Structure 1
Amino acid sequence: KGKRDKIRFIPVHAMAQRLIEEYLALAGHASDAAGPVFRPVTNNRTGELDKPLDGRTVHNNIVRKYALETGISAQINGLCVHSLRATAATNALSHEADIAKVQEWLGHANVSTTRLYDRRKTRPEDSPTFRVRY
């Protein structure tokens, strides 16, 4: 579900599907494939059920962790879970995905919102300067 409880169906890449299925099997949820993907799991130290993943947990335990492991400062302005959407949109557009399809994929009502997610304009190597022939 997205904003305003709008339900959208999006394709899942085969590699992502395989990883999700492996995760569900390891977490003991393979028999309930119709349930939510991210569910509370038992904490190995306490034996208690952890809270379900939310945006803050994803940021603190996943995005921040891997940013630090790759040398990206966790204090970078704008490094957040939502950055993953912008990165995915930019990656798709960089690989010649149609912006209207990316708009639909992200669930944007207006293509101008999708354009805000396109970070290619901030990359110097993508400047029109380098497209001009002298």
Structure 2
Amino acid sequence: MSGLPASLEKSLNRFYEYIRSERELSLHTQHNYKRQLTTMTEQLVVLGVTEWQQVDAGWVRQLASKGMRDGLKASSLSMRLSALRSFFDYLVQIKVLAANPAKGVSAPRKARPLPKNLDVDEMDQLLNVDEDDPLAIRDRALMELMYGAGLRLAEIVGVNVRDISLSKGDLRVIGKGDKERVVPFAGLAREWVAKWLKVRGQLAGEGEPALFVSKLGTRISTRNVQKRMAEWGQKQSVSSHISPHKLRHSFATHMLESSGDLRAVQELLGHANLSTTQIYTHLDFQHLAKVYDESHPRAKRGNK
């Protein structure tokens, strides 16, 4: 590692020997650590660092910023900072540093890819289940309710018969963090839940509280729901893979496109923060532009 100040190079070499002989990391990991640390050390030298004791959180943030400017992906930057944290942990261990300056610096969070929602026609195609078999009735009721109320997979599996009121058209669910909320459902969701309740006794074991049960008579499992939905997607010739999350995402998208009421959709989904709803529900730009053109008073002045 020529060209580096001896004071920096000496500690790096001691660290490489440590991860080789004491931690016995794989050759791949050792090479990766060396590559990442070489890059960052060279950057610090350019910035004027000659001793490891000079490096504080501000210097580490500069390295992170440079990585972002250089076009590093969030995952690659996270790996780079992880190598630096490990190195500084070692310097603390051998008393070269009093504290790890990289401890509180993290890479930007990786953007979560949004699942593609189903459009309304695809939802109609999926839910066009008219079989008399109790399992088919159960599956349609479950999918109608998940799409009709925007429920999470764990929420719909956890619903008990006593949680649902057909007369009021609402149900009580326990969401993330054991937070309880009451959500409305109507139309086809209400109609098919009523149909399911009429035949549920053919499958449910005595005393079983769960609204949706398997053919074994006990509460349906999340895995079973995922499997059945994927099978219905294929049976109904829907082009994309069907999952419980995709139904919830479709509910959110369709509700937001129709109402434009982000706060109401946040409440219905049970999101603690509005920012989660903004990420989770997306509107295409054309729809937003159309709403703007039709609604904003300054956008309609052209035609007189």
TM-score normalised by the chain length of structure 1? 0.69
**2:246 pairs with 1:83:** yes
Residue aligning to 2:277: 114
C-alpha separation between the residues in 2 aligned to 1:50 and 1:36? 10
**2:232 pairs with 1:66:** yes
Residue aligning to 2:211: 37
Higher-helix-fraction structure: 2
Note the alpha carbon deviations across 1:11-66, whole angstroms, 9 max, x for none.
1214312210110111228xxxxx4321244xxxxxxx25532332112112x123
Q: Is the 8 A contact 1:20 1:37 kept in 2?
A: no
Residue aligning to 1:3: 176
Q: Is the 8 A contact 1:85 1:117 kept in 2?
A: no
Consecutive unaligned residues of structure 2, counting only runs of 5 or more, are 1-173, 203-208, 294-298, 300-304
1:19-30 aligned within 5 A: 19-28=192-201
What is the aligned-residue identity percentage?
Answer: 29
Q: Is the 8 A contact 2:210 2:219 kept in 1?
A: no
**2:191 pairs with 1:18:** yes
- C-alpha distance 127-100 of structure 1, shift in aligned 2 (>3 A): closer
Where 1:21 maps in the other structure, the secondary structure is helix
Q: Is the 8 A contact 2:262 2:277 kept in 1?
A: yes
Q: Is the 8 A contact 2:266 2:277 kept in 1?
A: yes
C-alpha separation between the residues in 1 aligned to 2:179 and 2:269? 12
C-alpha separation between the residues in 2 aligned to 1:110 and 1:87? 19
Which of residues 202, 220, 224 is equivalent to 1:57? 224
- C-alpha distance 83-71 of structure 1, shift in aligned 2 (>3 A): closer
C-alpha separation between the residues in 1 aligned to 2:231 and 2:200? 21
- Kindly tell me the number of residue pairs found equivalent between the two proteins: 117
C-alpha separation between the residues in 2 aligned to 1:101 and 1:22? 29
C-alpha separation between the residues in 2 aligned to 1:38 and 1:113? 28
C-alpha separation between the residues in 1 aligned to 2:253 and 2:275? 14
C-alpha separation between the residues in 1 aligned to 2:227 and 2:190? 24
C-alpha separation between the residues in 1 aligned to 2:282 and 2:237? 20
Amino acid at match of 1:89: A
Where 2:180 maps in the other structure, the secondary structure is coil
C-alpha separation between the residues in 2 aligned to 1:26 and 1:97? 38
Q: Is the 8 A contact 1:67 1:73 kept in 2?
A: yes
Q: Is the 8 A contact 2:266 2:274 kept in 1?
A: yes
Q: Is the 8 A contact 2:210 2:218 kept in 1?
A: no
Where 2:219 maps in the other structure, the secondary structure is coil
Q: Is the 8 A contact 1:86 1:119 kept in 2?
A: no
- C-alpha distance 126-66 of structure 1, shift in aligned 2 (>3 A): farther
Amino acid at match of 1:19: W
